[in-house]
Structures are given as structure tokens and as C-alpha cells.
Amino acid sequence: MKKKSKLKFQIISIISLIAFFAIWQLLTDVYRVIPSTMLPSPVKVLQTIGMKWSVKKPDGSTLPQHILASLQVSGLGFCLGAVIGVPLGVIMAWWEKADLSLKPVFDFVRTIPPIAWIPIMIVLLGIGVVAKASIVFLSAFIPCVINSYTGIKATKTVHIWVAQTFGGSKTRTLFKVAIPTALPYIFTGLKVSLNSSWGALVAAEMLGSASGLGYMIQMGRLLSRADLIVVGMIVIGIIGTILSAFLDSLEKIVVKGEVR
Amino acid sequence: MNKKVKVQVTDLTKRFGDLLVLDKVSFEVYEGEFLCIVGPTGCGKTTFLNSLTHLYEPTSGKILFNGEEVNLEKHNIAYIFQEYSAMEWLTVRQNVRFGLEIKKDYKNIDRKVDEALELVGLTKFAGYYPKQLSASMLQRVVIARAFATHPELLLMDEPYGQLDINLRFKLEDEVVRLCKQTNTTVIFITHNIEEAVYLGDRILVLTNKPTSIKEIIMDELPHPRDIAAPEFVEMRNRITDLIKWW
Ligand SMILES: Nc1ncnc2c1ncn2[C@@H]1O[C@H](COP(=O)(O)OP(=O)(O)OP(=O)(O)O)[C@@H](O)[C@H]1O
Ligand SMILES: [Mg+2]
């Protein structure tokens, strides 16, 4: 797209964002169509964010503490999911024996939604970091395996043949041909994983936890503090966006040849 | 010509299920020879090269390279595929390096790559990615990749299909000169008879499926060949008559 028309759309999107908040403000504080106990106004939300920055009440932790708790758990689970999931997908796709022996188990596990694991994890591991990290792990792990598997399988036969005729072994061909082919798919997997693990984390924190953004939302509900709920949602959205943007820029650095 | 046998093919047979494609093909290729294979489209030319390199497991038959079973990890073979085969995630230069890197042949690698790029006239495009190039440039990338490895045996499956006619003549002359200079053995597949007569030391004419050898023709016209010379035209017509096109 041309620079100029891109700018035009950026302006339009900023305007619509402003309109969104304006309507929200009108519906709440100005005309009071929706009572503030159900939906706080944007101004109130900003005030709550400011207040929660340093105040522990009423849910026991400050906003930065909640954010940190959530990031720690999701970081741990996501990294483990990626570090185990990506190689597993690659190995299953590249070596037929691994495929035959591991795929059936995996195909069964992947049909269980990660959220359905939460109760058993709480029973087995309690409500600590390990239980939540395990949920995050599962929800990150599965898309990582699926996408890296698909990516390796997408390798063109003729590329494999090129490496083979030059005398490349199976393993060398994997690193020189199949993994470069799979990289865009692996990144798609990481992005999907990030979204689903972030979602699963919030769910896990709402069901059983003592800190984290999901926990804060849950406390907001129990204490009828709608502003806490909305603050939690907004912060979750912002952090999710930042993390995806980070992966996007990493992808641009690592994946070559996509001329844009 | 030095008559050392480089490749010996004996009774090579290949079936896909009950489709018999190659039926007991036997012949030999001599060291330094430029052997052209012509045949009607779909007769099994690609299948033949793929079986020769064991990319397709031959149904039966024997293929010897320097008197031993073909072994891609050991023997220095390069294959230019009919299908487009440059790697999209590598620059032109990295693509040309690819064969040498796979072989872990890092000695003089940059000089070899430069020479190969020069040969196909892509020096200026070394930093581009395949998506930025035209089809004919991509085909030259693949040719350069093969030449950079200085193969003992070079297999080419209609490598000039994408090139325009002037470029084609220039590149063909260059490739023949280089192969002769380095004593490279070449098996060159085409369905363009003029091209075969222009390039080959011998021309192997295939029958329609199931494929076997119809005739092997010596092509001893002096280089560089004149496509309008009466001997050239005579040979071209003779081969055209031999081929059953359907
Ligand atoms: N992998 C495969 N599986 C099944 N049949 C195949 C396979 N590869 C080739 N064939 C069959 O073998 C026959 C010969 O195909 P091949 O591609 O070798 O012909 P060709 O002479 O190279 O044709 P062209 O001139 O179009 O390149 C065709 O009938 C094709 O359908
Ligand atoms: Mg073919």
C-alpha cells in the first residue's frame, strides 16, 4: 500500500478509537445510561489504574505485582512449551519412526482443551506457580507441536532432493532445508501459543490463585468492583499486544526471503 | 575421446505400481562426455534421472558410478532439476553456496561461488532473494549452484526451458566450454532436438512408454556448431523422424 493511503487509514483508526472512548464516557459518567457499578467510565478506569499502581487494597497486591506474577507464570510455561513443543513437532515430522510412535498420543491429548486441565491440575498441584505454569505449558505446547510439524511437512520434495544429491545426510538436510522452510510456520505456532497460553493463564488465575491479573479480575467480581475488572481486562489486552508485537519483530529478523 | 566408462546403467527398470515406465534401459556414459537424451514428453526422462540417483528406488537394474554403486554422499554429482528448485529463504549468493556448504567444502568457497555467479551473469544480483528475480534468472541461479561444486557428473533435466533464446545460446556455449575444460561428464535431458544436436557428443533417443532406447547417435560435428549447416539439419531431421511423439 502507498505511504499516503496508509497514513489515511492510521488517522481513521485513531479517530474510531477516540470515538469508542467518547461514547463509553457519554454512556457512563455523562448520561448515566449504565450505572457505574456495572461499567465504570474510562476516566474512572484511568483513576483506578493510577491508584492500583501503588495501593494493595482491596485485592492484596499492587497492579505491577499482579502483572509480574502473571508474566512469570506465563513466561515459564510458554518458554517450556516452545522449547519442548517445537523440537517435538520437528522430530515427529522428519523421522517417520517418531511420527508413528508419538503422533497417536499427541493426537489424543490435543483434543482436550487446555482449560479442561485446570481442575485436575489444581487437584494434583495446588494453586501455586507449578499448577498454573503447567496449564500455560499445555496450551503453548500443543500449537507449537502442530505448527512446527506442519511446517516441516511443507518442505518441498525438490529441495530435499537438492540437498540429498549434493550428498547431504538426513540430519543435515533437516537443518539446511526443512527447518528454514518451517520457520514461518513455527512463528505462527509461537504466536498462536502465546495467545492461547495467555488466555489459559487468566482462566487458571480466576479458578485458583492468590495473585495475577486473572485473580484481580476475579476479586473485582467478588467485591463488586467493576473498575478492577475492566482494568484487568485492559492490562491483559495491552500486555498481549506487546508480546505479539515482540514476536512479530523477531520473525521479521529471523525469517528471510519474504520480500515485502 | 578417452573411453573410460563413468556411468554404467544395466537393465534399469522402474515401475510405479503397475505403470511400467523404464523397461530395461542399458547404456554407458564415458568420462568427459556430453550425452543428450531426447524423447517424447512424458516418456520417463525425469524418472530416468531420478532413478539413476536413487531418488526413486529403481525397481530393478544396476547403476555404477566409477565402477561402484552410486552413493550420493560419496560421489560428486550435481543434478539440475526440471522443477524450480532455488530456495526462497536464501539470497542468490547463498543459493549458489548451498551445494558447497552441504558438502562442507569450504576451501576457496567464495572464489568458487564468485566464478559460478560470473558464469551465469548474476554477480550484480548476488544479494537478492528469489522472489525478486525473474524465472530465467532463477534457472541460472540453479545452474550456478550446480557448477560451483565442480561436479564429476552433472545431470540436467531441461535446464534451459525458462531461458530466452539468445541467452540460451550464450549460456549453452559457456556450459559446453566449461564442461569440456573441466572434463565434466554430463547427462542432458531435453525434448528440443535442435538443442540436443547442438550440445551433444552422443544423442540417446528414447521410445514412448514403456521407455527403452531407440537408438544412440554419434554427434561429431565440430564445435561451435552451426545450426544452419546441412549436416546439422540432416541429423536433426533424422532424430525427429525417429521419435514417435505420441
Ligand atoms: N512419483 C511418481 N509416481 C507415479 N507415477 C509417476 C511418478 N513420477 C512419474 N510418474 C509417471 O511416469 C511417467 C514418466 O514421467 P516423467 O516425469 O519421468 O516424464 P518426462 O519424460 O520427464 O516428461 P516431461 O517431458 O514432461 O518432463 C509419467 O507417466 C508419470 O505419470
Ligand atoms: Mg521431465
pLDDT tens profile B20-62: 999 889 999 999 999 999 988 888 899 999 999 999 999 999 9
Q: Quick: pLDDT tens for A103-137.
A: 898 889 888 888 888 888 888 888 788 888 898 99
* B43 CA from centroid of ligand 1 (Å): 7
Chain B residue with minimum CA distance to A256: B89
C-alpha separations of A112 from A79, A108, A118, A207 in Å: 21, 7, 11, 18
Judge if pTM exceeds 0.90.
no
For chain B, domain boundaries: 1-31+54-71
> What's the pLDDT score for residue A260?
52
Q: Is the dihedral of CA A253, A256, A258, A260 positive or negative?
A: positive
| First CA to last CA distance, chain B | 35
For ligand 1, is residue B245 a contact (CB within 6 Å)? Answer: no
Separation in Å, CA of A189 to nearest CA in chain B: 19
pLDDT of B245 higher than 70: no
Average pLDDT, chain A: 89
CB of B65 within 8 Å of a chain A CB? The answer is no
Interacting residues of B169 by C-beta distance below 8 A, sequence separation 6+: none
Q: Is the CB of B182 under 6 A from ligand 1?
A: no
- Nearest CA to A81 out of A246, A192, A241, A238 is that of A192
C-alpha cell at A135: 496449564
Q: Which residue of chain A is at minimal alpha-carbon distance from B98? A: A163
Q: What is the pLDDT of residue A159?
A: 97
The listed range with the strongest mean pLDDT (A33-42, B21-30, B165-174) is B21-30
**Can you tell me whether residue A60 is helix, strand or coil?**
coil
Kindly tell me if the per-residue pLDDT of B238 is higher than 90.
no
CB of B44 closer than 6 angstroms to any ligand 1 atom: yes
Instruction: Decide if pLDDT at A2 tops 70.
Output: no
Compute, in angstroms, the gap from residue B222 CA to the centroid of ligand 2: 29
Residue whose CA is closest, atom 1 of ligand 1? Answer: B16
CB of A183 less than 8 A from some CB of B: yes
pLDDT in tens, B71-88: 999 999 999 999 989 999
The answer to whether the complex's ipTM is over 0.90 is yes
Which one has a higher pLDDT value, B47 or B222?
A: B47
Q: Is B99 exposed, middle or buried (0-12, 13-18, 19+ CB in 10 A)?
A: buried
Q: What's chain B's average pLDDT? A: 89
Instruction: Answer whether residue B246 shows pLDDT above 70.
Output: no
* Lowest mean pLDDT segment, chosen from A68-82, A215-229, B44-58, B220-234: B220-234
A182: exposed, middle or buried (C-beta count within 10 Å: 0-12, 13-18, 19+)?
buried
Mind telling me how many Å the CA of B79 is from chain A's nearest CA? 7
CA A62, CA A210: separation in Å to the nearest integer? 13
- The CATH class given to the A41-259 domain equals mainly alpha
B-chain CB neighbours of A180 within 8 Å are 87, 89-90
Domain ranges for chain A, please list them. Answer: 1-34, 41-259
Element of type H or E holding A65: helix A63-94
